[in-house]
Amino acid sequence: MNHAPPPLSQTAYYAALAALQAQLTPATTMPEALALLPAHGFAWYLLPGDVDGGHELRLCHAQCWNVSTFANSLADLPLVLAGLIGMPTVLLGPADPVDDFDDQQVAEPQSPPTAEPEPEPAAPAAAVEVAAASLAEATDGTVVEDAEPEDPSHSTEPLSEADRATTLELVKAMTAEQRKAFTIAFRDAFSVPREARAVAPLITQERHRQFVCRFVDEAEGVPAP
């Protein structure tokens, strides 16, 4: 059975749509996409919908072919128009961050910015002198500092190259599912911005190593201390 060829207006419409889509990338914004439409012979407009308050969106081409679809509300119009022109930014969304934990990330660490801790208020000078005299008297003139040990999970001490490489090997040894869960947990625990596409370069401090070790222990069923 012979089928009639599509109308020339329909052929021109899809040829122009293909040329438009060749210029669209995941980085293209909606205003940028709309600015490209006239150069390819496209125009769009809204028609009143039914009594429920919807809207008919119609994409027309200069060769008289048009395609229409329906939007439930004005808020849906960007997504509906993106569907008509095949816009990847709205349809697919931005790519999720990916961590490969490759050798290059081990060789070139990048420390995340850390906020400067606020200084603790100083004790009055008189109180310090009295405390020092009392301590010296109690220890026969020898003052011994009784500093509380720092919690390793909060330590910002930089990792040595050997410790960092060992820590990243622990992450590489995880299953794909565990590594995905670890990446999400690490980003949440250390407030990693979304624009940072990998967390491996950010594992640079003792607190990061402690977090990795604790995650590995919990994944293997070892109870937390």
Per-position pLDDT tens, the chain of length 225: 555 666 777 888 888 888 988 888 888 888 888 888 899 899 887 776 654 567 787 888 888 888 877 777 777 778 878 888 888 755 555 445 556 565 444 444 555 556 666 666 555 555 556 555 665 565 555 544 545 556 677 889 999 999 999 999 999 999 999 999 999 999 999 999 988 888 899 999 999 999 999 999 988 877 655
Does residue 126 lie in a domain region?
no
The sign of the dihedral angle between the CA atoms of 130, 134, 137, 140 is negative
Same domain, 176 and 220: yes
Cα distances (angstroms) measured from residue 72 to each of 24, 47, 55, 87, 91: 26, 12, 6, 20, 17
Same domain, 79 and 101: no
Q: What pLDDT is recorded for position 83?
A: 83
Contact 5, 27 (CB under 8 A): no
CA geometry: angle 34, 39, 42, nearest 5 deg = 65
Same domain, 43 and 25: yes
Q: What pLDDT is recorded for position 37?
A: 87
Number of domains in the chain: 2
Instruction: Look up the domain containing 29 and give its range.
Output: 8-92
Contact 84, 59 (CB under 8 A): yes
Cα distances (angstroms) measured from residue 127 to each of 123, 147, 156: 7, 19, 31
**Which residues fall within 8 angstroms of residue 135, CB to CB, at 6 or more apart?**
143, 144
Does residue 3 lie in a domain region?
no
Q: What pLDDT is recorded for position 24?
A: 87
Does residue 55 lie in a domain region?
yes
Give 48's DSSP letter.
Answer: E
Same domain, 174 and 221: yes
Spatial distance between the Cα atoms of 205 and 103, rounded to a whole number of angstroms: 18
Per-residue burial over 11-38, b = 16 or more CB atoms within 10 Å of its CB, e = otherwise: ebbeebbeebbeebeeebeeeebeebbe
Left (φ > 0), alpha (ψ -120 to 50) or beta: where does 101 sit?
Answer: left
Q: What pLDDT is recorded for position 175?
A: 92
Does residue 62 lie in a domain region?
yes
